[in-house]
Structure formats: structure tokens, C-alpha cells
């Protein structure tokens, strides 16, 4: 997968896996990584799917209607890419924290839904429930921060709350942060995510 890897000063820190939103690329979220942990290594990945020229992490049939077969395939592909990248760049495969926005948050949530050991935790900006009606792996020890908007037309507040509840039922520790805004990624939610990260 097309990506950027920046080695951090402190190898004890989690590697921050950055996953952009629809139409974005691996450069978009780089400033966020510095706000969360400026000593951590950063692996920023570009989604392999193109929708009218816009990179995404998996196909959708319509807005909010996911192509589940492709979601499963792309989640596996990303998980395997993490195995390869950890070997190539010599970072700890068991210490990855995903930071995703929108479509990137959805594939990060999908990693948690499908693989027990894909990531140690995640900061999910405006995520949805990636897949309904499946049993999640036991997510004991995983920490997840969700930032959601009370007026988000794409990821409804109900969907954010449902994601929180599904992750909690799988034993993850979940904190949800609400903004009285829409789908945009705000400076205040990034600050809230940074505070949450410090408390881990
Ligand atoms: C998705 O397709 O993953 C969500 O609808 C969010 C987005 O627009 O990227």
C-alpha cells in the first residue's frame, strides 16, 4: 500500500497508524500525529480503492452503504500490510494505535471488528459501525476514543453510540467525545483526543 513512514524518537511509543477520509491521502493527517505524540513513529497509509478518483479504504455502494465483501477483503489487506510494515521498519507490531477520520475511522473500526490483534487502540474521528450482525473478538485491553458530532449528517449520533456500545460489549475501554458540529474534524476534538492519549 502507498504510505509514508516516519521513525519516531522513542521506540517505546506506539506507532501511530494514520488513515485518511474519502478523497484524502497519506499526507492529510500527518499534522494530527504531532498533536497526539511527537515522539512516536508514524505510518500513514493511502487507501487502495478509488471512487471517482478519490482514494478510500474500501468500496461503498452508496453513501453510508458499504460493500461488505470489499470491506472484509480490504481490512485483511491492511492487516497484512501492517505485518509487512512492522518487519520492514522494525516497529513493534503489537503496539499500533490507529488514528482515522471518516472512511479511515471506519476501516480502523473494521480492524477491531475482525482481528483481535491488529491494533492496540484507536482514535476514531466520526466513525460509523463498519459491519452489523457479527460477533466481535474479545477486545480486552484495547482503548478507543471516538469523536462524534451531534449534527453529523454522515455518521449519525445514534451510529456513534451504537459503535461505542458494540466495542464496550467486546470489553474495549471506550471514551466518546461529542462536538456540537457536523462531520468536520475539529481542533477541539483533536485536543480532546490528545488529552485522552495522555491518560492511557
Ligand atoms: C464511508 O463511506 O466510509 C463513510 O460514509 C464516511 C465517508 O464519507 O468517507
The pLDDT profile of the chain, 200 residues, written as one tens digit per residue, is 999 999 999 999 999 999 999 999 999 999 999 999 999 999 999 999 999 999 999 999 999 999 999 999 999 999 999 999 999 999 999 999 999 999 999 999 999 999 999 999 999 999 999 999 999 999 999 999 999 999 999 999 999 999 999 999 999 999 999 999 999 999 999 999 999 999 99
- Can you list the pairs that 111-116 forms with residues at least 24 positions away whose Cβ atoms lie under 8 Å? 111/75, 111/78, 111/79, 112/136, 112/139, 112/142, 112/144, 112/167, 112/170, 112/172, 113/75, 113/137, 114/72, 114/75, 114/76, 114/79, 115/75, 115/79
User: Residue 183 catalytic?
Assistant: yes
Ligand 1 proximity of 164 Cβ (cutoff 6 Å)? no
State the DSSP code for 61. E
- Which of the residues 102, 110, 143, 160 is marked catalytic? 102
Ligand 1 proximity of 64 Cβ (cutoff 6 Å)? yes
Cell numbers found for residue 114: 475482525
Q: Are 84 and 93 in contact (CB under 8 A)?
A: no
Q: Are strands 49-51 and 54-56 parallel, antiparallel or unpaired?
A: antiparallel
Quickly name the fold that domain 3-198 has: Rossmann fold (3.40.50)
Rounded to two decimals, the pTM is: 0.98
Q: How do the domains of the chain map onto residue ranges? A: 3-198
Hey, whose CA ends up nearest to atom 4 of ligand 1? Answer: 103
State the DSSP code for 11. T
Ligand 1 proximity of 110 Cβ (cutoff 6 Å)? no
Amino acid at each position: 500500500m502507498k504510505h509514508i513512514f516516519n521513525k519516531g524518537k522513542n521506540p517505546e511509543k506506539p506507532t501511530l497508524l494514520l488513515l485518511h477520509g474519502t478523497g484524502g491521502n497519506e499526507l492529510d493527517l500527518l499534522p494530527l500525529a504531532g498533536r497526539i505524540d511527537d515522539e512516536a513513529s508514524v505510518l500513514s497509509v493511502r487507501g487502495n480503492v478509488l471512487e471517482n478518483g478519490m482514494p478510500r479504504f474500501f468500496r461503498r455502494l452508496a453513501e453510508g452503504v458499504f460493500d461488505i465483501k470489499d470491506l472484509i477483503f480490504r481490512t485483511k489487506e491492511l492487516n497484512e500490510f501492517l505485518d509487512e510494515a512492522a518487519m520492514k521498519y522494525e516497529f513493534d507490531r503489537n503496539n499500533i494505535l490507529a488514528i482515522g477520520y471518516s472512511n479511515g475511522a471506519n476501516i480502523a473500526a473494521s480492524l477491531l471488528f475482525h482481528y483481535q490483534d491488529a491494533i492496540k487502540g484507536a482514535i476514531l474521528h466520526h466513525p460509523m459501525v463498519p459491519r452489523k450482525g457479527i460477533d466481535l473478538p474479545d477486545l480486552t485491553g484495547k482503548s478507543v476514543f471516538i469523536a462524534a458530532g451531534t449534527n453529523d449528517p454522515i455518521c449519525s449520533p445514534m451510529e456513534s453510540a451504537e459503535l461505542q456500545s458494540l466495542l464496550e460489549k467486546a470489553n474495549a475501554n471506550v471514551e466518546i467525545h461529542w462536538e456540537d458540529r457536523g462531520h468536520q474534524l475539529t481542533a477541539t476534538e483533536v485536543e480532546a483526543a490528545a488529552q485522552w492519549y495522555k491518560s492511557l
